[in-house]
A and B are shown apart, each in its own frame.
Chain A
Amino acid sequence: MDNLNKGSFLKYFPVIFALLIISVLAATCPLYLAPFTIISVTNIFIYVVITLSWALFSGPTRYISIATAAFFGMGIYTSALAGELMPFPLVVCLGGFVSFILALLVGMSTLRLKGMYFTIFTFGLSELIRHTVLWWEVTRTGTVGRWVVSVDHTPVYYTMLIILIVTLAVCYGIGRSRYWLALQSIGQSEEAADHMGVNVTAVKIGVFAVSAFFAGATGATMATRWTYIDPSIAFNPLFSFMPILMATFGGINSITGQIVGAVALTLLADLLLTEFPYYYMLIYGVILVMVILFLPNGITGLAKYVKK
């Protein structure tokens, strides 16, 4: 028994050690890195979180959600409306909660049906909310944009770090629970899952709402860095496109793949935005099409294939 424990400890030692170093570095890096780097790292965290949360639901179930921008935008507007009323951490939680409720409503109305109705519904959702908010702002408040209470980059960094850790923990936890098996069986054959006794609708709605929470919390955090928002900034369809691209690029079926995809493409975006700003989205569109055509399992899938 002793030997076994020792063996597994030795086996996992490098992983634990690496995690320890990463967490110490992540926790202390605002002390010695330049503000610009901190902001870049925060940016990477955002995309990792929205990619993980998107893939948590859409990966195993194959129900493609194009609504991340809607949840992200709800978080942003929560931050703009509640920023002055309550402390920052509470605003972030509230942003997540508002998105959670929105996802519950969307899920309850569409997730009992076939996957395509859900995708169709989510496709226009952020556009719908953008139009509604714009209409409300123009007719009721008389302005288009809003100011958000600004928060310094260091607290924003730590907030995003915490959101990232919680997201990772939840993705990891669900990935090892029976809900993951339920989600996967829904993706493979929903009818069979239903007959095996999985409460299909409840699982789908629940996980979808949880995944929306993180997108909302991220939006609420990031709004404080932008200070000025309007409906077209908050509900930018780019935030629906990016998690899909990043998860597909990295490999939709593993957490490692999703993180690799998000980090790689965020770094590439930084490069492209400075070098070829006009070709940036064009290149990302081409990458998405190419990955789907030639790398159906993403780059981690390719790595596994090469190893074999």
Chain B
Amino acid sequence: MSFTFYVDVVIGGLILGGLYALTAVGLSLQYGVARVLNVSHGEFIMLGAFATYSLYTMLGISPLLSLVITGPVIFAAAFLIHRTMFQRIRKTSPSEAAFEGNSLLASFGLLFIIQNMALLAWGSDIRGYHYMSQSINLFGTSYALNRLIALFLALGTGITFYLFLIYTRMGKAIRAAAQDRDTAQLMGVNIHKVLGLCFGLGAFMAAVAGSLISMMFEITPTIGMPYTIIAIIAVVLGGLGNILGSLIGGLILGLVGNIVMCFSPALSLVAYYLIFILLILLKPSGIMGK
């Protein structure tokens, strides 16, 4: 266990954690603000991954460039889904709790729809491609360039979004809606637009994470579910509705996951669950919760 081993574990953990943080921030927007516990979150990750894969292998579009295409397209699709589906459910549900339940069930249906459409389109084979996989030397160990780019882009997207939340009018509206939807509406916030935007932005982040995942790992149409589970745990870890908290939660899970993976790769999900169980037994409001 030398020094380079620890550096390796930490940097590897940060790379994984950056991806988890991005997906967790996305889910936090969808659940914390739009109140949709979107269990199909991972499917948007998978869509992002496959869109990037197809654009690169068929049209030769560089994965970094395709982020600019897949992200907005998936954002628009998710915004439309919110406008048509979840807004209708919100109208027909008698109470907030009923809306949460029904939207959860609807997103469960969405999970099966998206996953099976992807299976029809791409088949169940494992796919992958090589892109910027040359190694770079850092602190005595070497890393594939694409991993470092992924870390940089994931954290970059997360931090940019955080600044957007703090410094823009729209960001303020989103934060207001997260705190108290009804009061925000009374203060003149166009709530339907904000909720749709949050759902769309959540899917956008999932799509970006998916593109980055496709540069590093092999992909199949069924990769989504584990990412959804991790994102949900990260959101609870950071405190439901706390966006900065879910970013930190994602990073923590990535570090822990990478440490466990060094010993036994199959047990990382078990480790996440242990954290989750300890959390809900000891501090259900999350590490950043009041």
Binding site for B on A (CB under 8 A): 62, 64, 66, 109-110, 113, 115-117, 119-121, 123-124, 127-128, 131-132, 134-135, 138-139, 237, 241, 244-245, 248, 278-279, 281-282, 284-289, 292-293, 296
How far does the Cβ of B125 sit from chain A's closest Cβ, in whole Å? 15
Query: Known contacts A117-B284, A128-B273, A131-B269: does B92 contact A296 (CB below 8 Å)?
Result: yes
B106–A288 CB distance below 8 A: yes
Interface segment, one of B109-117, B133-141, B211-219: B109-117
Cβ of A289 and Cβ of B270 under 8 Å apart? no
Chain B contact residues, majority secondary structure: helix
Are the C-beta atoms of A115 and B229 separated by less than 8 Å?
no
* B residues adjacent to A (C-beta < 8 A): 37, 39, 85, 88-89, 92, 97-98, 100-102, 104-106, 108-113, 115-117, 119-120, 225-226, 228-229, 232-233, 236, 240, 264, 266-267, 269-270, 273, 276-277, 280-281, 284
Query: Are the C-beta atoms of A134 and B270 separated by less than 8 Å?
Result: no
B44 to chain A, nearest CB (A): 15
Contacts of A278 in B (CB 8 A): 119-120
Q: Which 3 A-B pairs have the closest CB atoms?
A: A285-B112, A288-B109, A285-B113
Would you give the shortest CB distance from B209 to chain A, in whole angstroms?
Answer: 18
* A203 smallest CB distance to B (angstroms): 18
A-B contact pairs, 5 of them (CB 8 A): A62-B101, A131-B269, A132-B270, A244-B108, A292-B109
List residues of chain B with CB within 8 A of the CB of A284.
112
The residue of chain B having its C-beta at the shortest distance from the C-beta of A58 within the complex is B101
A236 to chain B, nearest CB (A): 12
Q: Are A109 and B277 in contact (CB under 8 A)?
A: yes
Closest A residue, CB atoms, query B103: A292
> What distance in Å separates the Cβ of B37 from its nearest Cβ neighbour in chain A?
6
The CA of A244 and the CA of B236, in the complex, are separated in Å by 24
B102, A117: Cβ atoms under 8 Å? no
Nearest chain A residue, comparing its CB with the CB of B270: A132
A120 touches B266 (CB 8 A): no
Chain A interface main SS type: helix
B229 touches A124 (CB 8 A): yes
CB–CB B112/A292 < 8 A: no
- A64 is contacted by which of B92, B101, B266, B269 (Cβ under 8 Å)? B101
Chain B residues, CB < 8 A from A132: 267, 270
> Min CB distance, A275 to chain B, in Å?
15
Closest approach, in angstroms, between the C-beta of A185 and any C-beta of chain B? 13
Q: How far is the CA of A260 from the CA of B101 in the complex (A)?
A: 22
CA distance A157 to B101 in the complex (A): 35
**Contact status A292-B105, CB under 8 Å:** yes
Q: Answer whether A120 and B236 are a contact pair too, CB < 8 Å, given A62-B101, A134-B266.
A: yes
The docked-state distance in angstroms from the alpha carbon of A116 to that of B284 is 11
Alpha-carbon separation in the docked complex, A277 to B180 (Å): 46
| B260 vs chain A, min Cβ distance (A) | 11
Assembly CA distance A296 to B117 (angstroms): 25
Residues of A with C-beta under 8 A to B97: 62, 115
Nearest to A286 among chain B residues (CB) is: B113
Whole-angstrom distance between the alpha carbons of A119 and B232 in the complex? 11
Min CB gap B80→A, angstroms: 14
